[in-house]
Structure 1
């Protein structure tokens, strides 16, 4: 009788341990799902803040492709269909200008570096003066959100200019 009782107790204990392990695994899976959901939500928020209206555009107001200019080069930056706001806050459908000297547009979501060829106008400026030596230049205007994340090719404009003495 004692052996049957001990055997029954052992089987019940093993069953309890198996159930407890299964619950732990379920809880672990739930944690992974929650983390995946949070990550997906964060990605979606980033994508939402990089969305902009179809009719939005940026353009050079005072310069044309192929134009000859003297230094300092005055650049008037235009934007339509999306708000112009200073850098620092992430505001939906909003951004500010950057000028890239002798470079291409930045892909959607790429952070624009700040250096001598990637100029930031995070104060929501719409005009700039560029001190350029005589020569040929490509100027790319790139719009980006408050965190300097590029809106991509669709919110960029590019021209070639020649700076003469």
Structure 2
């Protein structure tokens, strides 16, 4: 193995160890903290473009990168079968939308059919709190 390849391998191992150590540091959430979907209601029938309003109780909303106790920002899971890993920063995907600007609502356009929506609060680094502040999963129908 060349020296360059060994160096790259060592850097990758060090980076992986740093990420693992970083991943276990979750911000605490206060007792009774709750995130929920204000609208649409569970079971609602909506048009292809509709607004989702986020609710939060017992904590404050702060933009990503803002490290204040008992704050976080919303992440919306769309048609997700399970929650993302709770000990690492949440990835940005088609089914996991980030609202790192501190937004409390979004206008969505989804294809016709049945969909699920669920909120998960993330800390300043997009890592879910401990314990996780997660909403009930709701089901909507887009017509």
- From 68, 71, 87, the equivalent of 1:94 is 71
Q: Conserved in 2, the CA contact under 8 Å of 1:83 and 1:93? A: yes
- From 18, 39, 63, the equivalent of 2:40 is 63
Offset of 1:46 from its aligned partner? 2.2
Tell me which residue corresponds to 2:97: 119
TM-score under structure 2 normalisation? 0.76
Distance verdict in 2 for CA 1:66–1:152, change over 3 Å: farther
- From 33, 52, 60, the equivalent of 2:29 is 52
Tell me which residue corresponds to 2:113: 135
Q: Which deviations, in whole Å up to 9, do the C-alpha atoms of 1:100-129 show, x marking residues without a partner?
A: 111133343232111222111001000101
TM-score under structure 1 normalisation? 0.66
Write 1 or 2 for the structure with the bigger share of helix. 1
Alignment of 1:163 with 2:142, yes or no, is yes
SS of alignment partner, residue 83 of structure 2: coil
Offset of 1:152 from its aligned partner? 6.5
Offset of 1:153 from its aligned partner? 7.2
Count of paired positions: 121
| Pairwise CA RMSD | 2.2
Q: Conserved in 2, the CA contact under 8 Å of 1:76 and 1:128? A: yes
Q: Conserved in 2, the CA contact under 8 Å of 1:106 and 1:142? A: no
SS of alignment partner, residue 91 of structure 2: coil
Paired with 2:95 and 2:112, the residues of 1 have a C-alpha distance of: 16
Q: Answer with 1 or 2: which has the greater Rg.
A: 1
Q: Which runs of 5+ in 1 are unaligned?
A: 1-38
